[in-house]
């Protein structure tokens, strides 16, 4: 009877252990399912990150290609613009040379034709002469001169002590020739050299007998 009781007790204990083992196995199975689900989610996240990284690399490559193409286009455009600028510069040089040759053809054959620069002079209170008016309102060269300018030198020659007639005579020269006039402007402290091309003037421009208060040069 004692052995039967022990056997029954051992059988019951073994049954409990089996139940516990089954419970543990079930818990282990559930844990395995959870782990598999976590692994699957992690793999999906990694694949999603890889897809985003691939897309970013593709976009970067496309941007690099577009930038390279744009740089090439800008380089080609710069070359074309430089060539066009050089061509226009040459055309301007040719036009200037043609204008100079035309000026020489027109002005040089006229022997003895002299003129002034189209200004009216009067004595300055400090000596010498000043400009009181211009007889050529459309002469672009005279736009450099202003009424009230005091003439100090003509082509490097001092005229501070000269009267209107002497200054007038020194301003007269061959039509188309250049004369450099150094003037003192009232509002400026420094003297100003101005280059002017002589043009056609009135018949009194080169006369030497006039002693009128105002003389035209």
Give the per-residue pLDDT at 139: 44
- Report the C-alpha gap between 78 and 207 in whole angstroms: 59
As a whole number, the mean pLDDT across the chain is 77
pTM surpassing 0.85?
no
Q: Is 37 helix (H, G, I), strand (E, B) or coil?
A: helix
User: Hey, CA dihedral for 9, 14, 19, 20, is it positive or negative?
Assistant: positive
DSSP H helices, 108-199, are 164-171
Range with the lowest mean pLDDT among 63-67, 96-100, 137-141, 179-183? 137-141
pLDDT in tens, 115-169: 788 888 998 888 789 998 876 543 444 457 888 889 999 999 999 999 988 998 8
Token couple for 110:
């006229």
Give the per-residue pLDDT at 94: 87
pLDDT in tens, 74-122: 989 999 999 999 999 898 888 887 776 666 555 554 555 777 888 889 9
Range with the lowest mean pLDDT among 2-11, 19-28, 45-54, 97-106? 2-11
Cα–Cα distances in angstroms (integers) from residue 171 to residues 25, 102, 200, in the given order:
123, 24, 13
- Report the C-alpha gap between 135 and 217 in whole angstroms: 9
Give the per-residue pLDDT at 34: 80
């Amino acid at each position: 009877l004692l052995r039967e009781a022990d056997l029954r007790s051992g059988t019951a204990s073994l049954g409990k252990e089996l139940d516990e083992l089954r419970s543990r196995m079930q818990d282990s199975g559930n844990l395995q399912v959870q782990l598999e689900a976590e692994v699957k989610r992690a793999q999906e996240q990694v694949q999603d990150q890889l897809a985003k990284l691939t897309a970013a690399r593709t976009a970067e490559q496309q941007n690099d290609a577009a930038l390279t193409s744009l740089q090439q286009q800008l380089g080609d455009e710069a070359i074309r613009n430089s060539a066009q600028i050089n061509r226009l510069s040459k055309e301007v040089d040719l036009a200037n040379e043609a204008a100079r040759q035309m000026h020489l053809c027109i002005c040089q054959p006229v022997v003895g034709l002299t003129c002034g620069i189209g200004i009216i002079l009067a004595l300055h209170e400090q000596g010498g002469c000043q400009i009181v008016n211009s007889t050529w309102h459309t002469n672009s060269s005279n736009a450099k001169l202003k009424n009230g300018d005091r003439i100090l030198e003509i082509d490097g020659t001092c005229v501070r002590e000269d009267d209107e007639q002497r200054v007038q005579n020194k301003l007269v020269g061959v039509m188309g020739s250049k004369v450099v006039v150094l003037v003192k402007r009232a509002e400026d402290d420094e003297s100003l050299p101005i280059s002017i091309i002589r043009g056609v003037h009135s018949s009194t421009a080169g006369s030497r007998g006039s002693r009128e208060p105002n003389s035209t040069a």
